[in-house]
Chains A and B, each alone.
Chain A
Amino acid sequence: MHQTVEAALEINLLHANQAGANHNRAHFDQWGITCLNIMSSPGAGKTVLLERTLAALNPDLKMAVIEGDMTTELDAERLRQYGVPVIAINTGRSCHLDSKMVSGGLHSLAADYNPAEFDLVFVENVGNLVCPAEFEVGEHGKVALISVTEGEDKPLKYPIMFQEADCLLISKIDLAPYLDIDLNRLESNVRQINPQVTIIRLSAKTGAGLETWLTWLRNQVK
Chain B
Amino acid sequence: MHETDMTKALILTVRQWWEEQPSRPQIDTIHLTVGQFTCVEPASLQFAFAAQTQKGFLEGVKLAIHETPLVAFCHACQEEYKPKIGLHYSCPSCQSPMEDIRSGRELKIDRIEYTQSCVEI
Contact = CB atoms under 8 A, between A and B. Distances in A.
Interface of A: 1-17, 93-96, 98, 130-131, 133-135, 156-157, 159-160, 191-195
Contacts of A15: 9, 13
29 contacts: A2-B116, A2-B117, A4-B113, A6-B112, A6-B113, A7-B111, A9-B13, A10-B108, A10-B109, A11-B109, A13-B13, A13-B32, A13-B34, A13-B107, A15-B9, A93-B1, A95-B1, A96-B2, A133-B39, A134-B38, A134-B107, A156-B87, A159-B37, A191-B97, A192-B90, A192-B98, A193-B89, A193-B97, A195-B99
Given A156-B87, A192-B98, A195-B97, A4 B114 contact: yes
**Chain A, interface SS category:** mixed
Contacts of B118: 1-3
Given A94-B2, A159-B37, A160-B38, A13 B10 contact: yes
A4 B26 CA distance: 10
B39 A192 contact: no
Contact of B117 (A1, A95, A195): A1
B111 A16 contact: no
A96 B49 CA distance: 19
A192 B109 contact: no
A6 B111 contact: yes
Interface in B34-52: 34, 37-39
Given A4-B28, A95-B1, A9 B17 contact: yes
Given A12-B107, A156-B89, 9 more contacts: A1-B117, A4-B28, A4-B113, A6-B112, A7-B114, A8-B110, A15-B9, A156-B87, A160-B37
